[in-house]
């Protein structure tokens, strides 16, 4: 005997909707974390570039000092 009743299919549909919502939640968290990492990476790249500029400037000032 099969259990292919209307109630059975409704339960399956509700379970599938719950799984889809879980996946959406996971993707949202993943996306938020990715955005945070991208922002941090950009800030670090700027900081490294600025440090490089300062070091270059210091090196040039050393060369011009007697």
pLDDT at position 1, please? Answer: 54
Distances (CA, A) of 16 to 4, 8, 23, 43, 48: 16, 12, 11, 41, 47
Task: Provide the CB-side half-sphere exposure for 54 (13 A, CA).
Answer: 6
pLDDT at 22: 97
pLDDT at 65: 80
Residues 6+ apart with CB under 8 A from 60: none
pLDDT digits (tens), the chain, 66 positions: 566 899 999 999 999 999 999 999 999 999 999 999 999 999 999 999 999 999 999 999 988 886
């Amino acid at each position: 005997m099969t259990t292919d009743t209307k109630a059975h299919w409704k339960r399956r549909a509700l379970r599938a909707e719950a799984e889809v919502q879980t996946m959406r939640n996971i993707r949202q968290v993943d996306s938020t974390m990715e955005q945070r990492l991208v922002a941090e990476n950009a800030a670090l790249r700027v900081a490294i570039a600025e440090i490089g500029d300062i070091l270059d400037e210091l090196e040039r000032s050393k060369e011009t000092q007697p």
